Amino acid sequence: MKLILSLLFLSLRFPSFFHPAAARGGERTSSISGFMVDNNAIRGRHLFQENHFQKLDNLAHGYMTNSDLENAIKAFGNRCPSISRIYSIGKSVKGVPLWVMEISDNPGKEEAEPAFKFIGNVHGDEPVGRELLLLLANWLCDNYGKDPLATLIVNNVHLHILPSMNPDGFLLRQRGNANNIDLNRDFPDQFFSINDDLGARQPETKAIMSWLKEIHFTASASLHGGAIVANYPWDGTQDGRKYYYACPDDKTFKFLASVYSRSHHNMSLSEEFQGGITNGASWYPIYGGMQDWNYIHGGCFELTLEISDNKWPTANELPTLWEINKMSMLNLVAVLVKTGVHGRIFSSDCGRPLPASIAVERINYTIKATEAYADYHRLLAPGEKYDVVAKMPGYKSKSTSILLAEEAMTVDFILDPVITPMGSLLGSGCDFSRDNKSRLQLVEYFPRLHLEISLTLVVVILVFLCFLLRRRAILNYLKHRESVGPKRSNVAV
C-alpha cells in the first residue's frame, strides 16, 4: 500500500519521474519515449530498435565480447598471481558470471587498509568502462615496483575491479539488463518507496548489495558514458525537483570529484559543468541510483564518472580515452591513503579491537571501523579543522581536534569501558584464552611497548637469578665455616 501511494504521489507531483534519463550523463529523456502507442508507432519503435541495435553492433567491432572479457580477466590473474585474485560476486539474468579482479600486495587477505571498487558497464550500451578497467588492471601489474603511484596503490589499498556489471545489456546492445531494467534505478531509494521488495530486484543489483556486506569499501566509482563530468550525491531530491541537494559530506565529495576532474585532460575545462564536477540532483534528479545507496547503506563514498561524451565510441578511440582518464583513475584510488583521517580503535582494558563508530562534529554521517582490525578510514576535504569522535556502546566516547592538511593523518583511539555502579566493566569483553587474534593485534599495535616490557622482564629475571646465586654462595660459605671451626684473625704483632 505504501508503494502504491508513493507511486501515485510521484505520478501526480512530477510525471517526468517515470521517464528517467537515458544515462547518468547522456540524453535527459528516453530516445523512444515520444512514440504513441498505435500500430504505426509500434512498427516505428521496432524499426528504431533494429536500426539502433545494428548501429551499436557495428560499433562493437574492436570491443571485447563477454567471452573475450572473461578470458582477459583470467589471463590477467594468471599473469599477475602475486598481486591479484579473481572471483565472482554473482551472475547476470542470463547466467554470465560477474567477475572481479582484486589487486593488492596481499590479495584475498583482510588487512587494516582501505578498499576501493571500480564498476564498469552499468548500462549495457556504455561499454568504455569495461575496456578501460582491464587496461587499468594490466597497467598496475606492469608497473608495480617500478612506478611510485602503482606501488603505493598495490601496497596500501585493496582495489576491486568489476569491469562489467551488465554483460547481458552489452550483449543485447541495450541500456538495461536482460529484463530491460535500468540497473542504476534498481537500488532502494531514500526518498521514495521504490525497489524495497528484495525479491523484485535484479540479480546484478543483489550481487552488488551482497558485495558491500562482505567487503568494507571506503570509496568507489562507476564508469558511464554520455558526458564528461564527475557526478556526486545526492542524485535525488525530496520533492523530485531539480536543484542542488547536498549530502552531509558535500565538501568531501566535491574534493573527490575534483581529484578526478583536475587529473583529466579536459574534464575540468568543461563549459557546462564548473570545474568538471556536478551535484547529481542539480544536473537532473534520479531515484534508485547506486551512488546514493552506497553512501547511505554501505558507508562507501561513490562517484558516478562520465568518461566519454559519446556513449559508444569506435574502438580506435579507446587508447585515447585510456590516456586521458588514466591519471584520474589512479589518483582517485590513491587519495584513499594520501589524505583523510585513518586509525585504529582499541579497548583500554585488554587491547582488543573495537568496531566502534567514527563521527565528525557538524557532519551528520558516521562510519564504522572494521570488525577484524578495528581500522577506519574517514575521507574528509583537506584544509579544514575537524573534531573526530570515536564511540561505541559500553565505552566512553573520546574525541580529538585536528587540522587536516593535504596529507593523511593517523588518529588512534583507546576507549575506556564504562564502569557500572556495581564496579564491573560494562564494555569489557576480554578473554585472551579464546581471543588470540586480538592479543596478536595488540602486540602488533604496540611494538615499542611490547619491547619495553620484554626488556624489563629480562632485567628482572637476571637480577633475580643473581640474587639466587649470591644467596646460594653465602649459604655454602656459612656451612663451610661451621664444618672447619672459627677462622683465626691475622693480627700484626
Q: With 80 as the cut, is the pLDDT of residue 402 above it?
A: yes
Rounded to whole angstroms, how far apart are CA atoms 10 and 280?
Answer: 19
Quick one: the chain helix, strand, coil %, rounded to 5? 40, 20, 40
Nearest by Cα to 218 from 377, 434, 328: 377
pLDDT of residue 419: 86
Supply the pLDDT for residue 485.
Answer: 38
In angstroms, rounded to a whole number, what is the distance separating the alpha carbons of residues 128 and 226? 11
Query: Do the domains 62-338 and 341-417 sit in the same CATH topology, yes or no?
Result: no
Mean pLDDT check: name the lowest of 95-104, 397-406, 481-490.
Answer: 481-490
pLDDT-derived band at 430, boundaries 50, 70, 90: low
More confident residue, 396 or 422: 396
* Residues 187-227 pLDDT 10s: 999 999 999 998 999 999 999 999 999 999 999 999 999 99
For residue 35, what pLDDT is reported? 27
**Can you give the pTM of this predicted structure?**
0.81
Task: Determine the Cα–Cα distance for residues 247 and 86; give it in Å rounded to an integer.
Answer: 34
Task: Please give the pLDDT value at position 465.
Answer: 65
Summarize pLDDT for 159-173 with one digit per residue, the tens.
Answer: 999 999 999 999 999
Q: In angstroms, rounded to a whole number, what is the distance separating the alpha carbons of residues 164 and 326?
A: 18
Domain spans of the chain? 62-338, 341-417
Whether pLDDT at 463 is above 50: yes
**Mean pLDDT, the chain, whole residue set:** 84
The active-site residue, picked from 70, 204, 302, 306, is 306
- Residue 46's pLDDT is 52
Distance separating alpha carbons of residues 46 and 10, to the nearest angstrom: 29
Model pLDDT, residue 350: 85
**DSSP-assigned letters across all residues of 150-189:** HHHHHHH-EEEEES-S-HHHHHHTSSS-TT---GGG-S--
Tell how many helices (H) and how many strands (E) occur in the chain. 13, 16
pLDDT tens digits for range 382-395 = 999 999 999 999 99
Q: What is the pLDDT of residues 9-41, one digit of tens each?
A: 444 344 334 434 445 644 433 322 232 334 444
Q: Higher-confidence residue: 71 or 5?
A: 71
Q: How far apart are the first and last CA of the chain?
A: 122
Mapped onto helix, strand or coil, the DSSP state of residue 302 is: strand
pLDDT tens-digit readout, 280-295: 999 999 999 999 999 9
More confident residue, 428 or 14: 428
| Mean pLDDT value of segment 237-264 | 98
Q: Say how many residues make up the chain.
A: 493
Separation between Cα atoms, residue 365 and residue 36, nearest integer Å: 46
Are 236 and 289 spatial neighbours (Cβ–Cβ below 8 Å)?
yes
CA–CA separation, 302 vs 289, rounded Å?
11
232 beta partners: 279
- Residue 42, all three cell numbers: 509500434
* 122 in Cβ contact with 184 (< 8 Å): yes
In three-state secondary structure terms, 111 is: coil
Cell of 43: 512498427
Which architecture, in CATH terms, is 62-338?
3-Layer(aba) Sandwich (3.40)
Return d(Cα 121, Cα 125) in angstroms, integer.
8
Q: Is 102 a catalytic residue?
A: no
Residue 338 has pLDDT above 70, yes or no: yes
- Looking at the chain, the whole-number percentage of residues with pLDDT higher than 90 is 72
pLDDT surpassing 50 at residue 119: yes
User: What pLDDT shows up at residue 423?
Assistant: 60
Query: Higher pLDDT residue, 289 or 453?
Result: 289
Are the CB atoms for 265 and 321 separated by under 8 Å?
A: no
What burial class does residue 348 get, using C-beta atoms within 10 Å of its C-beta: 0-12 exposed, 13-18 middle, 19+ buried?
A: middle
Q: How confident is the model at residue 51 (pLDDT cuts 50, 70, 90)?
A: confident
Which of 264, 285, 286, 267 minimizes the C-alpha distance to 275? Answer: 267
CA-CA distances (angstroms) from residue 290 to 193, 194, 216, 227, 307? 15, 13, 16, 18, 17
Taking alpha carbons only, the member of 351, 395, 397 closest to residue 374 is 351
Phi, psi (deg, nearest 5) at residue 129: -60, -40
Amino acid at 446: F
Mean pLDDT in residue range 99-123: 98
Query: pLDDT tens for residues 220-233?
Result: 999 999 999 999 99
State how far the Cα of 391 lies from the Cα of 381, in Å rounded to an integer.
22
User: Per-residue pLDDT for 355 more than 70?
Assistant: yes
Instruction: State the DSSP code for 32.
Output: T
Kindly report which listed range (128-142, 318-332, 341-355, 448-462) carries the lowest average pLDDT score: 448-462
| Backbone angles phi and psi of 270, in degrees to 5 | -55, 140
Q: Which class is 341-417 in CATH?
A: mainly beta
Q: How far apart are CA 189 and CA 405, in angstroms?
A: 35
Q: For residue 420, what pLDDT band results from cuts at 50, 70 and 90?
A: confident
Confidence of residue 50 (pLDDT cuts 50, 70, 90): low
Cite the DSSP H helix spans in 235-372.
250-263, 280-283, 290-297, 318-338
- Residue 78: what pLDDT? 98
Q: Which helix (H) or strand (E) holds 469?
A: helix 447-484
